[in-house]
């Protein structure tokens, strides 16, 4: 799904800019994956008093911030938020991207040099080694000469690892095979006892027993225009592909995997965050600690059902209550004036293209395979071989410099040829940037 290129930031802080310079006990960051700025207002009437409304009332809102990079996906979004830099410098240009040195597609956080901690599979073999800049968490720890503690948690591994940076005390994420929270041997060789006890509670299975019904009465929800006349996706492997969703027919393994497609994955992060704060004694030091919480299910649900669906609306209404619970806990734990908190999003999303077509709104689609096949045909006709294209991924075309040099071609001429071909044949593409342009 294409990304909606408007970024927003909510900061709530009661003493950070006061006359008396006081160190906060803890800095809390919240990222809501694939949240659009207008989601703050689209569902405003259904929000309670302690979540999004509290942030809007008590915080500062930065609503004219724009992305200056492409593509806007989870990994470059998180890396850019927490480093204050851009993909050109911090190195995280996509979730998975082509690495020219190895000529292979690599994952942004995968690292076979480390082992999973908390499970015996591949999901924990990760590190922040591809992140080429320091994060807020890194700088807080360096400022305090490592006396501050820094932790990052998420359902997604990249939503935890990238905010945590290089010297976090720990980054923890969800293992969709086991239903547990795990980490990597990059951070530690064994899970803390409190996480083992948290995992032993098997909360995922308890949540999935509840099923998923609408949080509000049915009349409060929109008519799901994203699926107007279309068949919704059968995510939960049932002929019943609309509310209420039940999960009793699923195996435990299927429940673990599909848990991330439910709003309960936000709730479990709040529970995990509170346990982490208590057991790691955050906010009890003379130097500020740092905690990052990245909520992933808004993105996972938005991609599955569309960001104007009942499912997306319901997850935001429930997330509002999750935020209220977390903020209330932080206020009780640290005092309302003793911590800054910011909330932002890593990227947004456009309306479902098929729906836009139905209502005759402006939209267009670029089918990746057809586009790439056309590029290869052009390369054969113009330059004798498709091998002149080294890789095509993330809407980026990598040209093979060795092929260009071996055939006595000028790199800039080859660039221009591809640009002209694309511009003349694909109306869906708005702009084309070359390496030489940059």
Catalytic positions: 74
Residues linked to residue 360 through DSSP beta bridges, in sequence order = none
Pairing of strands 26-32, 289-295: parallel
Q: What is the dihedral of CA 44, 49, 52, 53, to 10 degrees?
A: 70
CA 289 to chain centre: 23
The pair of structure tokens assigned to 140 is: 């807080």
User: 334 in helix, strand or coil?
Assistant: helix
Q: Could you tell me if 349 and 302 are in contact, meaning their C-beta atoms sit under 8 angstroms apart?
A: yes
Rg (CA), the chain: 23
Q: Under DSSP, is residue 70 helix (H, G, I), strand (E, B) or coil?
A: coil
CA separation, residue 69 to residues 6, 61, 131 (Å): 12, 22, 16
Q: What string of H, E and C letters represents the secondary structure of 374-423?
A: HHHHHHHHHHCCHHHEEEEECCEEEECHHHHHHCCCCHHHHHHHHHHHHH
Task: Order across the sheet with 180-184: list the strands.
Answer: 60-65, 7-12, 341-344, 26-32, 289-295, 150-154, 170-175, 180-184, 116-117
The residue to which tokens 């939209």 are assigned: 363
DSSP-derived letter for residue 212 is B
Relative to beta strand 341-344, strand 26-32 is parallel
**Cα separations in angstroms, 170 against 202, 272, 289:** 22, 13, 12
CA angle 380, 381, 382 (to 5 degrees): 95
Residues in the chain: 438
Residue 78: closest CA among 9, 199, 163, 137: 163
Interatomic CA distance for residues 384 and 378, integer angstroms? 9
């Amino acid at each position: 799904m294409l990304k909606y290129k408007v970024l927003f930031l909510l900061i709530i802080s009661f003493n950070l800019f006061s006359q008396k310079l006081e160190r906060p006990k803890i800095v809390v960051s919240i990222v809501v994956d694939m949240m659009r700025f207008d989601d703050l207002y689209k569902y405003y009437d259904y929000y309670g008093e302690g979540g999004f409304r509290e942030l809007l009332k008590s915080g500062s809102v930065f609503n004219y911030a724009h992305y200056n990079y492409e593509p806007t996906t989870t990994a470059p979004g998180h890396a850019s938020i927490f480093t204050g830099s851009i993909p050109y410098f911090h190195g995280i240009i996509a979730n998975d991207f082509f690495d020219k040195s190895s000529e292979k597609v690599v994952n942004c956080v995968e690292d076979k040099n480390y082992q999973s901690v908390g499970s015996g599979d591949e999901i924990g073999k990760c590190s922040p080694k591809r992140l080429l800049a320091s994060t807020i968490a890194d700088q807080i720890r360096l400022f305090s000469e490592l006396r501050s503690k820094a932790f990052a948690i998420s359902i997604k591994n990249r939503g935890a690892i990238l905010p945590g940076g290089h010297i976090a005390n720990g980054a923890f994420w969800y293992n969709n095979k086991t239903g547990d929270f795990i980490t990597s041997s990059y951070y530690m060789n064994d899970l803390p006892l409190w996480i083992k006890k948290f995992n032993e509670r098997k909360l995922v299975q308890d949540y999935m027993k509840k099923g998923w019904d609408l949080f509000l009465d049915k009349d409060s929800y929109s008519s799901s225009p994203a699926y107007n006349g279309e068949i919704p996706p059968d995510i939960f492997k049932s002929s019943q592909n609309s509310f209420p969703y039940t999960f009793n027919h699923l195996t435990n393994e299927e429940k673990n995997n599909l848990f991330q497609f439910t709003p309960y994955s936000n709730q479990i992060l709040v529970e995990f965050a509170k346990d982490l704060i208590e057991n790691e004694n955050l906010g009890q030091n003379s130097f500020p600690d740092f905690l990052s919480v990245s909520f992933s299910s808004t993105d996972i649900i938005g991609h599955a059902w569309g960001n104007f669906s009942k499912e997306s609306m319901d997850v935001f209404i429930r997330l509002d209550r999750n935020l209220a619970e977390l903020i209330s806990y932080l206020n009780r734990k640290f005092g309302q004036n003793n911590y800054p908190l910011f909330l932002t999003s890593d990227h947004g999303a456009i309306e479902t293209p098929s729906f836009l077509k139905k209502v005759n709104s402006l939209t267009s689609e670029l089918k990746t395979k057809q586009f790439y096949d056309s590029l290869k045909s052009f390369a054969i006709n113009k330059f004798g071989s498709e091998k002149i294209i080294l890789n095509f991924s993330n809407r980026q075309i990598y040209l093979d410099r060795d092929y260009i040099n071996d055939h006595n071609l000028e790199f800039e001429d080859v660039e221009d040829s591809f640009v002209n071909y694309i511009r003349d044949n694909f109306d869906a593409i708005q702009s084309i940037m070359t390496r030489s342009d940059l």
